[in-house]
Structure 1
């Protein structure tokens, strides 16, 4: 049988002129000294002739060995992971000393590691890339100079009698021109650098658990944040215009998905992971305050059926051209949830690639090209499940 056309295929040319294909990069705590980054050709899932779930029988594969990179001695403090362009950043969330190591940078295009700047003082767990535009450095390497990685910093405290944190500032990481290279031209012309965005403080509580969902508007520059109610501040949705550096309130409603949502042009909507394993599709809100956007969810769950207690966490990643990747972390059958951590392979990753469409009745459903692969994995850190990046 002929192979199916790879819908959603995303290939580009690297600096040497060769075609370079994107991959799924999974960050896992699968060894006793730290983290591993595994590289998976998720688009190859769509080459399978069988349109159904080919792991329905419970087959568990092994992840590609060796991993793309391993990060050692990284289990003693909480880690934050973020992606921008072809680069994965990882750093200790809490800097244990002023001389602590800054962020480590893994370039997926060159498979090279480098040192980068440390995180802002009190970063939120939310990192989101926004802003189009591509440039080249002095060696001809392409970078999105206008695309930056934004995060919130909750280092300040308001004078409100409740004592709630309200000093929420915005910081941005970018591949920027190095000031030192002006005086010393032999130095690299660009470097990774954080900057404090000159903007008013965010109009919501600064606790890192406040932001429950976020996404980027189709304009590419406006970031939406939904927050849970906390103390005297009700739940609501806010937007930050990274170009004008302005905050706006959109009302006391929240986006219907958990974590990050992605704009899909074919559906003209934001797509995100709804509670209990449903996928939801939400009309993109206007950049100016307006009505609550309409949304709907799939009739069927995409999570594996099983004991809710065995479910450890899930992420949704956008692969482009109406193709998505759901990664679900669970405890294997026959293993007690409390004994799933350690040297044994007590957990599993279910990686599902699928598309979305509306039925004739207007119902949102996963397309027939939905395919799942399952992998046996080890786990060592109870508070961490996995991170997934498409680049």
Structure 2
């Protein structure tokens, strides 16, 4: 059943800190988007924080390193903690696709999922659940959320419903009228996906499949390959609902990449361990055309390393968020452990050493320089925020959850 949470809430003193800062009906202009960070520091689930990012300079990078406290949550929602991979976003909504009975508690209702509208009402509605997503990749196409996992490829439309309550729909379809729907299965395994991007109306996936074991002539002995992998790239047309094989090559990205229209290129983080922390890009036309002649499309490596190079900061994970108009935000989680003068002083005073996780937000714009190379052109600005101590270790072991909505 679709329901809304807004207006006056029942008194629950321990949870008042998680109520919205303003009236639940407050809205802002639709073109005004923000960066939202998700953490599981809420005792019953997850908090959503709205970040105010500084405007990007035309040049002259800024390296502010003072650690700031995160702003208070604008809203929280209930879901099993420690599972950030089940949080998705589409349009103005953040969706928690967790199984409600994740730990076998049959008393927990399983047939719904929370949907938080962060830009309009800042309230919670509930959508159809009863679907388990195993290792999901979430993407959007228009107002629909798409989920590719190890078992299926599905979509959930998130266009506004009217009437708002499912049992009042004129078609009488009830919950069946608004539900996850199956899409054509991909010609590859989810576990083999190395990178993906939305280009026009197509979703492009690159994969690397390990060589199959070889059966020896005795008919009993299997010999594994020597680590050889077979790359391939596929595209799913979201309008025609059809798959197409683009070639025997893979895009050079780690995870999600983004189409930048002004560059006519796909931009993402490099997958090569030797260039970790650098951006790379390849021409969108080359990806669309399959490279030509069976060859992979040409690609370029960004000049600057964007991940922290401070030896006191250990890299934990990173998420690249595209904000439009060539602008990005790289959200990096780093761990600051023992070491340095502060640690020595703490040992002398017999005090516990301070260890913490920090979110390092690097905003920048990308362009081509005079030589045609990909660069941030000195536009990087860095802001550092301490991660609340209530955040679980299980959550922090995965890449940060951040959305531009």
SS in 1 for 2:210: coil
Select the structure of larger CA radius of gyration.
Answer: 2
Unaligned 5+ runs, structure 2: 1-24, 213-228, 341-353
Question: Shift of the alpha carbon at 1:101?
Answer: 5.3
SS in 1 for 2:94: strand
Contact 1:215–1:261 (CA under 8 A) maintained in structure 2: yes
Counterparts of 2:70 and 2:177 in 1: how far apart (Å)?
33
Equivalence map 1:145-160=2 (5 Å)? 147-155=143-151
SS in 1 for 2:263: coil
RMSD across aligned C-alpha pairs, in angstroms? 3.3
Contact 1:316–1:325 (CA under 8 A) maintained in structure 2: yes
Counterparts of 2:332 and 2:84 in 1: how far apart (Å)?
21
Counterparts of 2:150 and 2:114 in 1: how far apart (Å)?
23
SS in 1 for 2:158: strand
Task: Give CA deviations for 1:5-64 in whole Å, capped at 9, x if unaligned.
Answer: xxxxxxxxx99785652110011234565432111022x3437x9942231xx3101111
Contact 2:136–2:149 (CA under 8 A) maintained in structure 1: no
Contact 1:33–1:74 (CA under 8 A) maintained in structure 2: yes
Question: Shift of the alpha carbon at 1:359?
Answer: 1.3
Counterparts of 2:319 and 2:290 in 1: how far apart (Å)?
29
Counterparts of 2:188 and 2:172 in 1: how far apart (Å)?
43
| Residue in 2 that maps onto 1:164 | none
More helix by proportion, 1 or 2? 2
The answer to whether 1:214 aligns with 2:214 is: no
* Shift in alpha-carbon separation, 1:91–1:345, aligned structure 2, 3 A: farther
| Residue in 2 that maps onto 1:193 | 179
Moved over 6 A (4+): 14-17
Question: Shift of the alpha carbon at 1:95?
Answer: 5.1
Unaligned 5+ runs, structure 1: 1-13, 132-146, 156-168, 337-343
| Residue in 1 that maps onto 2:156 | 173
Q: Residue 68 of structure 1 is aligned with which of 70, 74, 92?
A: 74
Question: Shift of the alpha carbon at 1:300?
Answer: 1.9
SS in 2 for 1:26: strand
Equivalence map 1:209-358=2 (5 Å)? 209-217=191-199, 219=200, 221-232=201-212, 234-275=230-271, 276-284=276-284, 285-287=286-288, 289-291=290-292, 292-307=296-311, 310-332=314-336, 334=338, 346-358=356-368
Contact 2:88–2:97 (CA under 8 A) maintained in structure 1: no
Counterparts of 1:263 and 1:77 in 2: how far apart (Å)?
28
Counterparts of 1:62 and 1:15 in 2: how far apart (Å)?
25
Number of equivalent positions = 330
| Residue in 2 that maps onto 1:386 | 400
Contact 1:25–1:39 (CA under 8 A) maintained in structure 2: yes
| Residue in 1 that maps onto 2:188 | 204
Moved more, 119-128 or 369-378: 119-128
